[in-house]
């Protein structure tokens, strides 16, 4: 009982997104792939790999992160934003616009 109370207290004011198991699995799979790519870059640096080869791998990681963000953003728009608009909470649109402005710096 105490653990549940501690969790509630620690997360008071926290926002959460409910994801399906499929969505969570897909996101986690992508993150594990990116993690593996990062480990590969670390090994390339440790082994003094040719700079352009490392740059290309870093570019691949950047593209993978962008793809992850696109997937997550689409889910956010279709889920959280849509639901809040249906409930009359238009401030979610402002939040989305602010987030997009930060992303597009």
Is there a contact between 80 and 43 (Cβ–Cβ < 8 Å)?
no
Is there a contact between 99 and 76 (Cβ–Cβ < 8 Å)?
no
Domain 20-103 has what CATH class?
mainly alpha
Domain locations in the chain? 20-103
Q: Collect all residues with Cβ–Cβ distance below 8 Å to 60 and sequence separation of at least 6.
A: 37
Is there a contact between 82 and 96 (Cβ–Cβ < 8 Å)?
no
Is there a contact between 27 and 76 (Cβ–Cβ < 8 Å)?
no
Question: pTM of the full predicted structure?
Answer: 0.76
Instruction: Quote the CA–CA distance of 69 and 89 in Å, as a whole number.
Output: 24
Query: How do residues 38-52 score in pLDDT, each as one tens digit?
Result: 999 999 999 999 999
Q: How confident is the model at residue 22 (pLDDT cuts 50, 70, 90)?
A: very high
Query: How do residues 44-94 score in pLDDT, each as one tens digit?
Result: 999 999 999 999 999 999 999 999 999 999 999 998 899 888 998 888 889
């Amino acid at each position: 009982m105490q653990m549940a109370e501690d969790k509630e207290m620690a997360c008071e004011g926290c926002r959460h997104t409910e994801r399906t198991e499929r969505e969570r699995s897909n996101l986690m799979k992508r993150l594990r792939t990116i993690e593996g790519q990062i480990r590969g870059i670390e090994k390339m640096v440790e082994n003094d790999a040719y700079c352009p080869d490392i740059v290309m791998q870093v570019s691949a990681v950047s593209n993978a992160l962008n793809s992850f963000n696109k997937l997550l953003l689409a889910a956010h728009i279709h889920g959280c934003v849509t639901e809040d608009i249906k409930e009359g909470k238009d401030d979610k649109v402002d939040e989305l616009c602010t987030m997009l402005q930060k992303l597009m710096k």
